[in-house]
Amino acid sequence: MKSLQTIVEGNTKLVVPADSLTHAVPPRSPAFFNPNAKLSRDLSIVAYNAYTKNLYTRSMADTLAGVGARAIRVANEVKELDEVYINDANPIAIDMAVESSKINSVEGKCRFSINEACKFLIEHSSRGSRFGIVDLDPFGTPAPYIDCTLRAVDDEGMLSITATDTPVLCGIYPDVCIRRYYGRSINVEYGNEIGLRLLLSLISMTASRLESGIKPLFVHSTRNYLRIYARVNVGSRYAKEMPTKLGYIYHCFMCSNRTYATMDEDHKICEKCMKPMKHAGPLWIDGIFDADFVNQMILSVKDCGIDKKCERLLSLAKDETAMHPTYFSVDKIAERAKATPPPIPKLIEKLHSSGFIATRTSLRPTGFKTNAKHDEVLDIFRSLVT
């Protein structure tokens, strides 16, 4: 076996392939570990610590665990979980996870398996064997695993799901997006939000078919990661709600106007310039942040001893929990106005003083959400730079 190295992430020691720490793109052989996903794993620790008191079944499953970086951290840093199941098809990766569990003295809490992801999940799909939390972090699209993932989550349990096929979800390959997610993507500055909403739509439609429903709790977009956290509720009354949460986002590529609508509405013509609009969806148009849960996560940060970036990101998410779909990007507005952008706080303050609602967004450093239309944002922007 190639050389291994022990690192510290959070409060946990991890045995990882040494090459994964020196290559720009971590190799998949002998086992996969992505050091750039640390923020994503940090947020998982915060989210799980915030959610464990809601669980009937205090177990977590990492379906595609790799070397077990997330799962071993969960076993070590989420104290209220009783069992952590760590599964991967690569036996070398599981060997590393076992070593990490011993170093952190959590081997008694861990259950290891070497199996294909869906086979592993189906083995835990019957009542009494399901998990309180299921994590799905594939290399690429999670679409092939959504059905079996939902079957393995207990009622009132949590899903945490990652998608890294961002070119598909963010509008570069819209036809592939239809095939994988049953909805069209478009290439716009808020494409990562569209991608998150398309992923939620796929999960919600699959849940509805299985007589269940989901409630998004928190989402984030970091580097090439799109990641969602959602509660699962079993029952036909939850399943019936799912179609009402879906719709379309319409974008005018002539004037940059954008709007959203339910499945029963139609906005094919732009109300501003009367040109045809392109649409994304069907996708999730309801809320993507739960205010109470985000607050619980913020409180949990102080006890987790993790990167302060998490607290800053959660603070931004808290401010945007009540905002509508889509955001603006100050750099894109500056391109259209052919001017140097003002500081975002100054622009948001001006939007407030003009009678609009506005907040920054956690989904893009230069992004902000507002109920102002694009032409109104552009006018306010120009008033600040002239």
Domain stops at, among 232, 262, 284: 284
The pLDDT of residue 294 is above 70: yes
* pLDDT digit string, tens, across residues 244-282: 999 999 999 999 999 999 988 877 898 899 999 999 999
Query: CB 342: neighbour CB atoms within 10 A?
Result: 18
Residue 319 lies in a domain: no
On whether both 147 and 51 belong to a single domain, the answer is yes
Are 108 and 98 in contact by the 8 Å Cβ rule? The answer is no
| Same-domain status, 258 and 336 | no
Domain boundary among 253, 284, 315: 284
Give the CATH number of the domain where residue 341 resides.
3.30.56.70
Look up the domain containing 230 and give its range.
Answer: 4-284
The verdict on 116 and 182 lying in the same domain is: yes
Reported as a pLDDT band with limits 50, 70 and 90, residue 25 is confident
- Residue 161 · residue 216 · CB < 8 Å: no
The answer to whether 169 and 226 are in contact (CB under 8 A) is yes
Instruction: Please state whether the predicted TM-score (pTM) of the whole model is above 0.85.
Output: yes
Q: How many CA atoms lie within 13 A of 266 on its CB side?
A: 3
Residue 300 lies in a domain: no
Shared domain for 280 and 359, answered yes or no, is no
**Residue 295, in any domain of the structure:** no
Q: What is the DSSP letter of 143?
A: G
Within this chain, do residues 234 and 361 fall inside the same structural domain, yes or no? no
CA–CA dist 156, 158 (Å, integer): 7
In tens, the pLDDT along 187-217 reads: 999 999 999 999 999 999 999 999 999 999 9
254 and 163 both lie in a single domain: yes
Question: Within a domain: residue 312?
Answer: no
Answer whether residue 125 is part of any domain.
yes
